[in-house]
A and B are shown apart, each in its own frame.
Chain A
Amino acid sequence: MNVELPFLAEGIEGGDVVQLLVREGDHVTEGQSLIELETDKATVPVPTPAAGTVVRLLVQQGDHVTVGQALIELDGADGEVKKASPSSSTKSTKPSVQQTPPTAKAGQAEFGQPLDHKEAPPTVPPPEPEQPGAKEMTGALHSPSAGAAIPAPPSVRRLARELAVDLSQVKGSEAGGRITADDVKAFVRERTKRGAAQGSGSNIFSTAYGSERREPLPSLRRKIAANMTQAWTTIPHVHQFQEADITDLMALHKRYAPEFKKKGATLTLSSLFLKAIVYALKLYPQLNATLDLTNGEVIYKDYYNIGVAVDTPAGLIVPVVHQVDQKDLLQISLELADLAERTRKRTVTLEELRGATFTLSNMGGIGAGPFLPIINPPQVGILGVGKAKMTPVYRDGQFVPRRVLQLCVAYDHRLVDGAIGARFTNEIVKVLEDFQGMFLGL
């Protein structure tokens, strides 16, 4: 039978094969992970639905696969195989400890829970290395002429490793078949030209203007590109600027940050922004809504889930703090830190990346100035903030130094009119300037 890429979650059409976790000839047990797949949301292991022997691998590392595509040819789920495996399975079952993605959870509205019922997944599942087969792991590795089979100096062997070149396929140009660095580079050029690149090798081209490097677009980047194009070309954005004097907010922050620290949390401006956003969203439900043009309806949402843009080495990912309105600042701070950390490590679950009603993009941490954020559909609004600046403010007949934050709310003009957008923005500013006032209902 062929094992196909199963339906993983709504909106996930496929991904890139990051790592093959099994080899041809391996026995696999039901639920054992076959490959590690990088989707545009998270990296997930893909389990086998049945036990058997891997006859053939139909995909390779770096391949882009879509739901329904065959991954592996599996030989019969018969009892014989099941009997044979226990001895070797003590180690090989280990990958299955890694949680499989919540395949059938898409319809449920529950958040986060499904993943926590077994052992909590390790905070940092290390990239599962290929289980070294017992055969190749004995002392035989150091037979006297181990590395001598191919005449290439150590520096060239390292180059070959870095360029993912199998030296046994390279023809040496020097006496005795010795392979030089140039031979390896020529091999890579040839491989690139033939289009047979394995994906991970860096493909260097020289052009009339200098050298260029071509790399396949990772799945996440492709998804970001598609989303941004759709958002920017279909949504008529209004960008509403406003200034917030956050001098008092900073004083508040300074006063309470140590208290939070004592409880193991870091009080960040982002947590405070989340509170301000939710406060304003409650007053202007149009901004916590989705436009359904097909049915000619507006969908107003009674829940307040705020996406928070996180910069990861792989690119922009937006995990979601769910039900911000029902959580206090301590809870939000703890959750946000954990969520951001796991997002950077790509261990965040798909559920945690979905269901946002509004988005916060805080670039203050990297010292950014004001900028125009792009709405993440089907949401209709986003708040973009940079770094607050010490600014001379004219007050009571004199200039006083105040910390002023330039913020920008983008909203979908199809649903939200300028007057509402401006009032919404002002409401956020009001909370930021007088945070305690929010609790007094002012």
Chain B
Amino acid sequence: MAESHYDVAVIGAGPGGYAAAFRAADLGLRTVLIDEDPQLGGTCLLRGCIPSKALLHAARLLTEAQEAAAWGIQFDKPRVDLDAFRSRVDTIIGKLTKGVRTLAGSRKVEVIQARAMFKNATTLRLSGGDMLPELSFAHAILATGSQPVLPASLKLSDPRVMDSTSALRLPDIPPRLLVIGGGYIGLELGTVYQALGSEITVVEALPRILNGVDADLVRPLHQRMQRRFKTIHLNTMVERLETKENGLVATFSTSQETSTDSFDRVLVAVGRKPNTEQLGLEQTNVAVTPKGFIAVDRQMRTAEPTIFAIGDVVGEPMLAHKASHEGLVAAEVIAGRQATFDAAAIPAVVFTDPEIAWCGLTEEAAKASGQAVKVARFPWAASGRATTLGRNEGVTKLILDPESGRVLGMGLCGVGAGELIAEGVLAMEMGAVAEDLASSIHPHPTLTETVMEAAESFAGSPTHLFIPKRS
């Protein structure tokens, strides 16, 4: 009993789970971290954020080499050694997952490779490993994450129909790739395969790609993709997918017509669902919403007092950094601290080329809810740095309170947007007003100046843009 009893048992070693386990251990709690996978890091590290960013980095090298022609620099057509490429990505993953294990060890977090199921509100049953079959805990943190959804109509049991996990493994470079779903996963992987030489077709059921993101931020990306991709079908459903001799034949339907086209591979990226099944939750009082998410309060407590839940299993947005923050909150609450999840903003980044990033209130959400805001926009056409990069298509905008100028949201489209958004998050968390951003000296020449100049336009004209006064 004494041997297998823990203060905290964390189920799932993704960025939410391991952050929670580490903080719990740092706060003096005896902690165990359980994951089915022999490698730690979860979806993010093994089959999500990290491998996809490695692939996107390579894609960018290829694209930039191609676009260097505009600078008078000519490269020969690059040759891609897929085996070397894949092994490079594996090396990156291996390095990071080893890092997580080392950190767990130095914090005395016990790591168990097993599948865990609740036997009751204080006991876990373990399977799939050679360890004690059960362990008991004072508190558990459920961080089991999510997995890609594959709609029944698209299930072909054909390896050429891929989800994000299999697409990240780069089985080959298909001449023609169909991407079903115009969300961030589909667009990022589409970008990778396009750079490697595939001809990309995107199908999105809604009227636009990246639904939920302000249209003016999506426009520069959409325009560039229209040039680089073969087609982007909007308002279009994939009615059927069939295996034929010449490949996978998809039948598209819009409100007007149906058409067919054939592909060498298909990537289905229509969403993710929480992993809340087969955890023995029915042995506990943990409440699950109709969509399969676990209901929690702001302290990340489930309806079962001993069990907490964090990350993708508790709801959208399914983002690693949200999970990590929630993990820290859960660990601190368990340790008796006054923690609560009250983030002012959770940033979101689409790592396409150009990148799109935003946090807080969007312009369209403000409009929909009737909230009065002032939008301060700075086009990158007026940015010196963007011009030197040859990437003037970007835009930076701030969503501001019309009275005080308080930053309610920020949106970016352009190269490096994912790095720039951090300033918007800080501004929101600190309750900054436009004047605070405008008066902070930003380094020249950088893209960060676009944030300062956007903020300047709240009260008047920024230096590099003249806005005529309204009479």
Residues of A near any B CB (own CB < 8 A): 90-91, 94, 126, 128-129, 131-132, 134, 136-139, 141-142, 144-148, 151-154, 157-158, 161-162, 172, 174-179
Tell me the interface secondary structure of chain A in the complex: helix
Asked whether, in the complex, the Cβ of A147 is within 8 Å of the Cβ of B359, the reply is no
* Residue of A with least CB distance to B290: A138
Q: Give B residues with C-beta under 8 Å from A.
A: 285, 287, 289, 291, 293, 295-298, 301-303, 305-306, 314-317, 322, 338-346, 359-362, 365, 401, 404-406, 408-409, 428-433, 435-436
Question: Which residue in B289, B431, B435 is a CB contact (below 8 Å) of A179?
Answer: B431
- Looking at the assembled complex, report how far the CB atom of B219 sits from the nearest CB atom of chain A, in whole angstroms: 21
Q: List 17 A-B contacts (CB under 8 A).
A: A134-B287, A137-B295, A137-B296, A138-B295, A139-B316, A141-B297, A141-B341, A144-B345, A145-B344, A145-B360, A145-B408, A145-B409, A148-B360, A158-B339, A178-B406, A178-B431, A179-B431
Task: Name the residue in A132, A136, A176 with the highest tally of chain B Cβ atoms < 10 Å from its Cβ.
Answer: A176
Min CB distance B350 to A, Å, is 15
What chain B residues lie within 8 Å of A90 (beta carbons)? 285
Contacts of B306 in A (CB 8 A): 126
Asked if A132 and B301 make an inter-chain contact with CB atoms under 8 angstroms apart, the answer reads yes
In the complex, which of the residues A126, A131, A147, A176 contacts B345, with contact meaning CB atoms closer than 8 Å?
A147
The answer to whether B408 and A148 touch across the interface, beta carbons within 8 angstroms, is: yes
Interchain CB contact under 8 A, A144 and B359: yes
**CA separation between A151 and B344, bound complex, in Å?**
9
Query: Given the known A-B contacts A91-B285, A132-B303, A137-B287, are A142 and B322 also in contact in the complex, defined by CB atoms under 8 Å?
Result: yes
Bound Cα distance from A398 to B275, whole angstroms = 79
Q: Contacts A138-B315, A142-B315, A175-B404 hold; do A153 and B430 have CB atoms under 8 A apart? A: yes
Chain B residues with CB under 8 A of A138: 289, 293, 295, 315
Q: How far is the CA of A153 from the CA of B431 in the complex (A)?
A: 6
Closest Cβ of chain A: how far from B174's Cβ, in Å?
Answer: 36
Whether B405 pairs with A147 at a CB distance below 8 angstroms is no
Tell me which of A132, A141, A174, A176 contacts B401 (CB under 8 A).
A176
A139 touches B408 (CB 8 A): no
B residues in contact with A148, CB < 8 Å: 344-345, 360-361, 408, 428
The residues of B that contact A128 with a CB separation of less than 8 Å are 305
For B428, the chain A residues whose CB sits under 8 A away are 148
Asked whether A132 lies within 8 Å of B295 as measured between CB atoms, the reply is: yes
Bound CA–CA A134/B293 (angstroms): 12
Among A128, A157, A179, the most chain B Cβ lie within 10 Å of the Cβ of A157
Least CB distance, B299 to chain A, in whole angstroms: 8
B169 shortest CB reach to chain A, Å: 31
Q: State A174–B431 Cα separation when bound (angstroms).
A: 9
Contact with A142, one of B295, B316, B401, B405 (Cβ below 8 angstroms):
B316
The answer to whether B316 and A131 have CB atoms under 8 Å apart is: no
In the complex, which residues of chain B have a beta carbon less than 8 angstroms from the beta carbon of A132?
295-297, 301-303
Known A138-B295, A144-B360; 6 more pairs at CB < 8 Å: A141-B341, A142-B317, A151-B431, A176-B405, A177-B406, A177-B431
Most buried by B among A131, A144, A146, A157: A144
